[in-house]
């Protein structure tokens, strides 16, 4: 591709009806081969930006232009698959152009003649250049790496996460010049994410990824684009570099805000003392005061704090699991699992989807019984279980009503708290509390779900994928909330940065019906695993189970 930029935008403005400005006057150019991570609060316009760049959204002001002859591919949060085709056939669509070349080559090979010799040689050169002689192997490798379902399955039978993995495999194989990824690591386990990082590091095209996976941003991104209060702020560097720059910028904004507040106080004092007769001058000063206050409102960065109420004091025994085994149909999810959760322990639960992580939670809460083994809870344990069932939220209620049940004061653990203050602590400020739940993004719905269920308190938290779709600021607030929580937590998550910060132990579901209890955070576990398995630790493979024998 000869163009200097793969995509350009000039004074791009997006407004959601009736008058919510998502971003204004964005002017950016995207270099071929650049790897860009997009950050911002939930609702800052990250997905809107990708939809405009993909060509799916044309309702905007300004210019947004893909380079001539460039190709674009987009992984949406709810991707479309051809429901008349199997998993393998859908993934194979990503190689449809190369498959057509190989099919044409094979056809000419059967009917080779002097007249077709030139075309035969041209096709051979194209296939060589694209390394396209073994397309079936490419498909199988991508499906293994992303843990796609079996190739002969019909896509109508797949879960949302399985559909996303199939769509991602198809998209990566198509290798567009501009690759747009909306939360690509959602529904991927750690091994698949590690493979995706390596794949994108070597990807020749431009990658623009909306993701809250901070290790992913550290390992893949060469640029960070932050969407902040309607602005687009580019930074050359990875996530760690951006964090350092962000801290400096916030400190500068804070100093500016102090000076602005001083000017506001001076203007307010003048307005109080000013005689009413000096109307013209007073109006100008009051207009200046209004402008200063609007500027302050736009600049203020409200700190997100997630309130996790403490429960009763824990005794010496928390959770003891001994010899747990559980099967689903004829598949043995895990067998002979034993662990002891100490007081104050924070456990990160990792592993492929379908390996038995959520099933373990159901055993701990008594919703299901183990096929063998025992679970013992300490006498002082008060479990608080936050599952993934965000569908239970009422789409017709606003955020405040859904969380507070319409009460001005809510019970948060053992104490009462102003309900609007509690809702605001989950980063729902002012007008956001009036949003209908049905109009919320996935991350906003997750915050509502967490706020509702964390209210009740408890001294042992069971959190099933609490980090999905959360923006970075809310993730940091959840981490801080857990680190300050005096009880225990068992957390299912694929967010490696999150687990490195909070986990004192790792429970790893490794496939083949194995589960490993490890003392240490995720980084320590991964280092130990590489020592044990060598290169095999990073090699992608499909999830397998032992057959149940009775």
Are 350 and 433 contained in the same domain? yes
Residue 292 belongs to some domain of the structure: yes
Check which CATH number belongs to the domain holding 385 and give it.
Answer: 3.40.50.300
Q: Is 353 annotated as a binding residue?
A: yes
Q: What percentage of the chain has pLDDT greater than the value 90?
A: 50
Q: Is 356 annotated as a binding residue?
A: yes
Q: Is 352 annotated as a binding residue?
A: yes
Full residue range of the structural domain in which residue 281 is found: 242-299
Residue 109 belongs to some domain of the structure: no
- pLDDT score, position 439: 87
Q: Is 520 annotated as a binding residue?
A: no
Cα–Cα distances in Å, from 178 out to 139, 143, 172, 183, 412?
A: 21, 22, 11, 16, 47
User: 461 — alpha (psi -120 to 50), left (phi > 0) or beta?
Assistant: beta
Residue 110 belongs to some domain of the structure: no
Q: What percentage of the chain has pLDDT greater than the value 70?
A: 89
Are 194 and 155 contained in the same domain? yes
pTM for the full predicted model: 0.79
- pLDDT score, position 504: 96
Residue 216 belongs to some domain of the structure: yes
Residue 312 belongs to some domain of the structure: no
Residue from 211, 208, 238, 206 nearest 222 by CA: 238
- pLDDT score, position 125: 85
Tokens of 181: 């990824």
Q: Is 354 annotated as a binding residue?
A: yes
Residue from 368, 361, 370, 367 nearest 319 by CA: 361
- At which residue do the structure tokens 């431009």 appear? 206
Are 145 and 20 contained in the same domain? yes
Are 176 and 83 contained in the same domain? yes
Q: What is the pLDDT of residues 387-411, one digit of tens each?
A: 877 667 899 999 999 999 999 999 8
Q: Is 43 annotated as a binding residue?
A: yes
Cα–Cα distances in Å, from 48 out to 58, 63, 177, 321, 515?
A: 11, 15, 20, 46, 40
Q: Is 355 annotated as a binding residue?
A: yes
Q: How many residues does the chain have?
A: 550
Q: Is 46 annotated as a binding residue?
A: yes
Are 252 and 365 contained in the same domain? no
Tokens of 139: 């498909």
Q: Is 438 annotated as a binding residue?
A: no
- pLDDT score, position 299: 47
Are 368 and 485 contained in the same domain? yes
Are 340 and 448 contained in the same domain? yes
Q: Is 132 annotated as a binding residue?
A: no
- pLDDT score, position 285: 52
Q: Is 439 annotated as a binding residue?
A: no
Are 190 and 73 contained in the same domain? yes
């Amino acid at each position: 591709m000869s163009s200097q930029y793969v995509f350009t935008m000039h004074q791009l403005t997006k407004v959601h009806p009736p008058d919510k400005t998502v971003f204004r006057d964005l002017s950016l150019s995207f270099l071929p081969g650049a790897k860009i991570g997009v950050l911002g609060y939930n609702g800052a316009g990250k997905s809107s930006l990708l939809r405009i760049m993909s060509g799916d959204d044309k309702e905007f002001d300004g210019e947004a232009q893909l380079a001539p002859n460039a190709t674009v591919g987009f992984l949406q949060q709810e991707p479309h698959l051809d429901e008349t085709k199997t998993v393998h056939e859908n993934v194979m669509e990503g190689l449809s152009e190369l498959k057509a070349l190989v099919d044409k080559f094979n056809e000419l090979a059967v009917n080779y003649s002097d007249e077709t010799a030139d075309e035969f040689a041209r096709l051979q050169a194209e296939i060589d250049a694209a390394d396209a002689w073994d397309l079936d192997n490419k498909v199988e490798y991508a499906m293994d790496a992303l843990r796609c379902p079996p190739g002969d399955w019909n896509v109508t039978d797949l879960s949302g996460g399985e559909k996303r993995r199939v769509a991602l495999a198809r998209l990566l194989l198509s290798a567009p010049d501009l690759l747009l990824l909306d939360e690509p690591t959602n529904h991927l386990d750690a091994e698949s994410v590690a493979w995706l990082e390596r794949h994108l590091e070597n990807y020749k095209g431009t990658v623009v990824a909306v993701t809250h996976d901070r290790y992913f941003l550290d390992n893949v991104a060469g640029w960070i684009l932050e969407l902040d209060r309607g602005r687009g702020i580019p930074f050359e560097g990875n996530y760690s570099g951006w964090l350092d720059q962000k801290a400096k910028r916030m400190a500068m904004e804070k100093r500016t805000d102090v000076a602005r507040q001083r000017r506001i106080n001076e203007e307010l004092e003048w307005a109080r003392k000013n005689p009413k007769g000096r109307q013209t001058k007073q109006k100008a000063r009051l207009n200046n005061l209004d402008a200063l206050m609007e500027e302050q409102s736009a600049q203020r960065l409200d700190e997100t704090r997630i309130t996790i109420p403490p429960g009763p004091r824990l005794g010496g025994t928390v959770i003891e699991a001994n010899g747990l085994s559980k099967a689903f149909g004829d598949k043995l999810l895990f067998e002979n699992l034993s662990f002891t959760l100490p007081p104050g322990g924070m456990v990160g639960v990792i592993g492929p989807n379908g390996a038995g992580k959520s099933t373990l939670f159901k055993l701990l809460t008594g919703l299901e019984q183990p096929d063998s083994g025992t679970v013992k809870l300490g006498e002082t344990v008060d479990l608080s279980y936050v599952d993934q069932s965000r569908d239970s939220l009422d789409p017709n209620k606003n955020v405040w009503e859904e969380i507070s049940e319409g009460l001005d004061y809510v019970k948060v653990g053992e104490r009462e708290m102003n309900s609007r203050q509690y809702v605001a602590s989950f980063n729902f400020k002012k007008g956001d509390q009036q949003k209908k739940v049905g109009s919320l993004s996935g991350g906003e719905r997750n915050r509502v779900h967490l706020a509702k269920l964390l209210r009740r308190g408890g001294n042992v938290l069971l959190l099933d994928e609490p980090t999905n779709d959360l923006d970075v600021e809310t993730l940091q607030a959840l981490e801080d909330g857990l680190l300050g929580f005096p009880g225990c937590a068992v957390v299912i998550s694929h967010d490696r940065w999150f687990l490195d910060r909070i986990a004192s132990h790792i429970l790893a579901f490794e496939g083949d019906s194995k589960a490993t209890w490890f003392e240490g955070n995720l980084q320590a576990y991964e280092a130990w695993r590489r020592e044990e398995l060598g290169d095999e630790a990073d090699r992608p493979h499909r999830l397998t189970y032992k057959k149940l024998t009775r």
